């Protein structure tokens, strides 16, 4: 079956612009996660959805970052007034039920470059 | 100090070698330990999952957790060129679903 898909695969934008990154989780997975991976680093947790609600958004770095999952499936990560430091790979993962014992399946990521 | 420390490598070994990858951590609340493999320009994929202390074996891979030392290891036997990737350790306290990742160790297995 299809895995987690993310679009776009690459995004180049200018400092100060607004960007949206999309994640399509595996069908039937109720849990969805966003991570950010900077060059040479491991993924850093941003936010976790259980269904439509954000169960844990403690990793969002500031109020320029926002994520939604209105119908409990597709999620969009929104970044306002982008800064050069936002350049990274943004990874999305989904799991069946959301308990830590369940496998998180990762998408290939969106590579964001802020000029 | 980071909660999870991992040597970034790179680690270069010949085909057939036994590889040892390690992470240390500072948070004694961590109970769930994972190893992920990440190929270049791909998302991480789960290799091994261990709860609390002990060993777990799956084919050529063995994961070890020593909670008393706050130290976890992944051993790869009979390493293959296809094992060349970045290996990430990840941990969770279990009362949340937040995974804390190490920086990853880049492994190169040459023929």
What's A40-57 look like in SS3? CCCCEEEEEEECCEEEEC
pLDDT values of chain A reduced to their tens digit, one per residue, 115 residues: 589 999 999 999 999 999 999 999 999 999 999 999 999 999 999 999 999 999 999 999 999 999 999 999 999 999 999 999 999 999 999 999 878 888 999 999 999 999 9
pLDDT at site A21: 98
Residue B46 has a pLDDT of 95
DSSP string computed for A76-90:
EEEE-S--GGG-EEE
Burial group, residue B94, by CB count within 10 angstroms (0-12, 13-18, 19+):
middle
Chain mean position to CA A60 = 10
Q: How far is A44 from chain B (nearest CA, A)?
A: 7
Digit-coded pLDDT (tens) for B80-97 = 999 999 999 999 988 666
Residue A74 tokens read as 């597709």
- H helices present in chain A, as ranges: none
Give me the residue from B43, B90, B99 closest to A109, CB to CB: B43
B62 pLDDT band (50/70/90 cuts)? very high
Please report the pLDDT score of residue A1 as a whole number: 56
What's the rounded Cα separation, in Å, for the pair B109 and B111?
A: 7
**Of A97, A95, A30, A88, residue with least CA distance to A59:** A88
Task: Please indicate if any CB of chain A lies within 8 Å of the CB of B106.
Answer: no
Tell whether the model's pLDDT for residue B1 goes beyond 80. no
d(CA A26, CA A95): 8
- pLDDT at residue number B53: 86
Identify the CA nearest to B108 among candidates B76, B75, B86, B78.
B86
Residues on chain B touching A109 (C-beta within 8 angstroms) = 41-43
pLDDT category at B61 given cuts 50, 70, 90 is very high
Does residue B107 contact residue B39 with C-beta atoms inside 8 Å?
no
Q: Identify all chain B residues contacting A98, using CB atoms and an 8 Å cutoff.
A: 97
Provide the 10 A C-beta neighbour count for residue A88. 20
Q: Which residue among A40, A58, A103 sits closest to B8, beta carbon to beta carbon? A: A40
Tell me the nearest-neighbour CA distance from B73 into chain A, angstroms: 17
Residues of A15-53 as b/e, b for ≥16 C-beta within 10 angstroms? Answer: eeeebebebbbbeebbbbbbbbbeeebbbbbbbbbbeee
The predicted structure's pLDDT at residue B96: 63
Question: Pick from A45, A91, A101: which is nearest to B98 by CB?
Answer: A45
Q: Is B49 on the interface with A (CB under 8 A)?
A: yes
**Which chain B positions have a beta carbon within 8 Å of A108's beta carbon?**
41-43
Give me chain B's average pLDDT, please: 94
Distance CA A9, CA B13 (A): 32
Of B41, B94, B101, the CB nearest to A100: B94
């Amino acid at each position: 079956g299809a895995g987690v898909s993310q679009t776009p695969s690459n995004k180049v934008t200018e400092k100060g612009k607004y960007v949206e990154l999309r994640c399509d989780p595996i069908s039937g997975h109720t849990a969805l996660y966003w991570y950010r991976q900077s060059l040479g680093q491991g993924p850093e947790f941003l936010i976790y959805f259980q269904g439509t609600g954000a169960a844990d958004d403690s990793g969002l770095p500031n109020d320029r970052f926002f994520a939604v999952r209105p119908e409990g499936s597709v999620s969009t990560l929104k970044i306002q007034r982008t800064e050069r430091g936002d350049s990274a790979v943004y990874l999305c993962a989904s799991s069946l039920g959301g308990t830590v014992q369940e496998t998180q399946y990762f998408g290939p990521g969106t590579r964001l470059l802020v000029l | 100090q980071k909660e999870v420390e991992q040597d970034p490598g790179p680690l270069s070994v010949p085909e057939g070698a036994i590889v040892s990858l390690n992470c240390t951590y500072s948070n004694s609340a961590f109970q769930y330990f994972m190893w992920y493999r990440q190929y270049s320009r791909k998302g991480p994929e789960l290799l091994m999952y261990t709860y609390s202390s002990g060993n777990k074996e799956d084919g050529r891979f063995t994961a070890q957790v020593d909670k008393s030392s706050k130290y976890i290891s992944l051993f790869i036997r009979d390493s293959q060129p296809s094992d060349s990737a970045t290996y990430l350790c990840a941990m969770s306290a279990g009362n949340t679903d937040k995974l804390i990742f190490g920086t990853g160790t880049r492994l190169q297995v040459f023929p």
